[in-house]
Chain A
């Protein structure tokens, strides 16, 4: 990379140059009808080149780590920058001084034993996960899911003194179990997201058991009437909610006027029992890394503290717009059709402001106490297709998929189904009154969330 950087820099054709390289190894098994249907392996590496010339940026990428690919990408990127199209901006690529913090010691987000996982062992873990679901409840008749292992290495170097390198691995395992009892059918789900081999091998059977337990517990549901209910959100239902909430704290979206937090800095946006951080170094966090994809150190940023909106998270671009330092949140993520959706570190896109790990901090309560304290409410186990209806207003709708249980007078009474949660995120946050001590990372379908169980009051559901 140094050789490539030196050669391209020596051409003196641009004001600033950034080169990003990554390589990824992604291995996965797919489970269908209680068997492993397929096993797959992707090996992928590439280079992304960004140039800045007279206030105009160009970006291009290629799929090999060769000098030829770098030259080709550089040529394309320079052509775009030289076209001088659009409005000129007073911008710069990341500099070490953009970061709020000095360089921290490298954290380790890599576990060699995850990195070295082979297909046979992975298949064996999948079988254990399936078997534990089948053994947990004899009514389980079908399982589907996956185990995916992602290993990556990436480096960023630029003409402003950025020179960073990091590597990491993570695994996620998911299982959906279907149960049948007479004419009744239900489904349940659990996941494990971790960077640690020991957690994976110790945890796969738990995933199977929990998915079977949720499924069996969802048999014979009733449909609750539309109305407002207290909701007890469990960690397993939070992945899309947290993704949407993280979007609200994204400085780019705030700047664009698309966030419900726009114009709310310093104001109450949640109840005083709620604190939220954006943490790029969360131990075992799926999104954790030593550096972001601009080469700046990641860090922990307090977003909400006791209900007050304290900060947004930034990359170097948004930090300049807001006159603050970057929080190390410049990542290369898929923003639209046309790029690879593979996991790992993507070279196909330029960096944009994006969340690493968005975390609701645990509280003092106990999950059982929350349930016992609830007169009339619903425990939310698993939701689906949560959709922002209006991002500035925070309006959302979500389908209650499974594992949803009616609580009456402090006791879990029966499963419920056939309703949609239809409310507003600001209302949801401001109505949280109890937050439990548990903190769990869960994930589904590419997203991950880190949150405790919490209760929020009087949330609208619609039954149809």
Chain B
């Protein structure tokens, strides 16, 4: 950080300036942030960058509107200028506002949190990290049909100091690491992709080389199996059993995002869209077997967030309880509008971005089935594992997620593998048709959740157990 000014002194300078200029609320985020990314393709160190940034992000309410400013210049004059800019921004927005911004009262929190790290990323020699990724790629390439392999390792560290004009002071030192393996196969005009993500909060142990290397061969074998599989026919509507490795993305898209209160209020129509369950709090939206939460304070997960960027403690928030819509992920402003407590839902990618309402770890709670029982008790249907990507409508109502593996279930047994399936559904129908929920809750890392303009990519955790419902299966257009 600045050699002569500490983080809390910088924050105090900002708060003082904003207060002098008439801010009714001010929040200073002082942050040091670094990212080490290593990307290996085959045996080639394709890119390696070590990016660090230091700066402040200042949010104020003045004249009934929000103003935001950020700067990487940390001398006194520049900091005061930045605070002045934030005030100016607020005033120019406020002149035209009819309804002043108000925020939910919270007890100002003071805490010092350090994410536990077993093995510092920086303590592992760069050469060892690269060697691990080269070895992953060697194991991914199980045959000549695997034409491109990529292994990536990322560490993100931040030291964030959040101070508010209400007296909150949160000092949070965090690190997380994740890794992605990818194998692209091509044979006789057929192409397929298999991927795996691993990671969580902590240090190098989150992408522990042994586990990663151990998984590589199975990812390579997956793509070869897919190349040899038959193209998925037009199956139509069918019972579907979803493995957590597939469900994680679906939960992200049709439970996580529509639970963001700003989407529910229609604020995101200009970008990501709205929520189909707007105005439906306390109504039934799914089967009684369905309960889902957002929970930031789960150590070890990629979505680990003990306090949000408004310095609000992140508690477990029920979104759906036994099929009933009971809550949303809230900021202090949206919480005030809904008349509920703030849930600690505001996060930004770094100091230079405004916080937005984001998921932390959003997942479906477990039931009492064993996963193998669900398959055994399914006469005919499909079983899907791992995902390629989503395509969802703007209200999170009609959804599509592409699996990597799609198996037929015949008389309670997993049988033929298909490639190129696309799974589609309508969210309320899907939720209402959930008729078996496993006990095997798994929270998986999802890197690259995008929201905001400019888009902010953050990491979250999503998942749930194996479950069964109904959906429609169609082939890819090839």
Contact = CB atoms under 8 A, between A and B. Distances in A.
Interface of A: 26, 28-33, 35-46, 56-64, 76-77, 79-80, 83, 85-87, 89, 119-120, 122-123, 126-127, 142, 144-146, 148, 174-176, 178, 187, 189, 256-258, 334, 336-343, 348-350, 352, 384-399, 401, 418, 420, 422-424, 427, 445-446, 460, 462, 464
Given A56-B45, A80-B48, A123-B92, A385 B390 contact: yes
5 tightest A-B CB contacts, nearest first: A86-B45, A38-B66, A392-B191, A40-B68, A39-B89
Nearest to B178: A337
B389 interface: yes
Interface residues of B, number: 99
A64 B50 CA distance: 15
Contacts of A29: 93
A393 B66 CA distance: 46
Contacts of A460: 477
A204 to B, nearest CB: 14
A424 B478 contact: yes
Contacts of B69: 40-43
Nearest to B265: A33
B297 interface: no
A395 B47 contact: no
B229 interface: no
Nearest to A150: B454
Contacts of A39: 65-68, 89-90, 92-93
B50 A60 contact: yes
Interface stretch (B208-216, B347-355, B436-444): B347-355
Contact of A464 (B352, B424, B447, B453): B424
A401 B394 contact: yes
A464 B236 CA distance: 11
Contacts of B46: 86
A393 B86 CA distance: 48
B291 interface: no
B456 A341 contact: yes
Interface in B121-138: 126-127, 130-131, 134
A415 to B, nearest CB: 15
Interface string B402-423: 1000000000000000001010
Contact of A119 (B92, B126, B394): B92
A399 B92 contact: no
Interface string B389-402: 11111100010101
B246 to A, nearest CB: 15
B49 A59 contact: yes
B28 to A, nearest CB: 15
B474 interface: yes
- Choose among B85, B420, B448 the residue with the greatest number of A CB atoms under 10 Å from its CB: B85
B80 to A, nearest CB: 14
B88 interface: yes
B119 interface: no
Given A256-B148, A389-B420, 5 more contacts: A39-B93, A86-B40, A148-B453, A398-B391, A418-B398
Interface in B260-299: 262, 265-271, 273
27 contacts: A30-B453, A32-B267, A37-B101, A39-B90, A39-B93, A42-B70, A43-B71, A60-B51, A63-B54, A79-B126, A85-B131, A126-B96, A144-B267, A144-B268, A144-B269, A257-B186, A338-B51, A341-B455, A343-B454, A384-B392, A385-B393, A387-B402, A389-B477, A390-B191, A390-B478, A395-B477, A396-B477
B154 A338 contact: yes
B104 interface: no
Contacts of A44: 70, 72, 352
A77 B412 CA distance: 56
A145 B45 contact: no
B40 to A, nearest CB: 6
Contact of B453 (A28, A178, A348, A394): A28
Given A41-B89, A85-B126, A337-B459, A350 B394 contact: no
A33 B85 contact: no
A43 B49 contact: no
Given A144-B269, A390-B420, A397-B422, A338 B85 contact: no
Given A38-B68, A85-B131, A350 B73 contact: no
Contacts of B89: 38-41, 119
Contacts of B426: 464
Contacts of B388: 389
Contacts of A120: 92, 95
Nearest to A428: B477
Given A35-B98, A63-B54, A422-B422, A336 B37 contact: yes
A336 B37 CA distance: 9
Interface string B25-61: 0000000000101001111111111111111000000
Contact of B147 (A35, A122, A175, A257): A257
Contacts of A85: 45, 126-127, 130-131, 134
Contacts of B271: 144, 445
A37 B66 CA distance: 6
Contacts of A62: 52-53
B152 interface: yes
Nearest to A342: B454
Contacts of B354: 38, 40
B476 A395 contact: yes
B97 interface: yes
Given A35-B98, A46-B53, A63-B52, A337 B350 contact: no
B100 to A, nearest CB: 10
Nearest to A388: B389
B474 A422 contact: yes
Given A46-B53, A175-B270, A422 B477 contact: yes
A40 B152 CA distance: 34
Nearest to A447: B455
A424 B268 contact: no
B448 to A, nearest CB: 5
A64 B72 contact: yes
B172 interface: no
B472 interface: yes
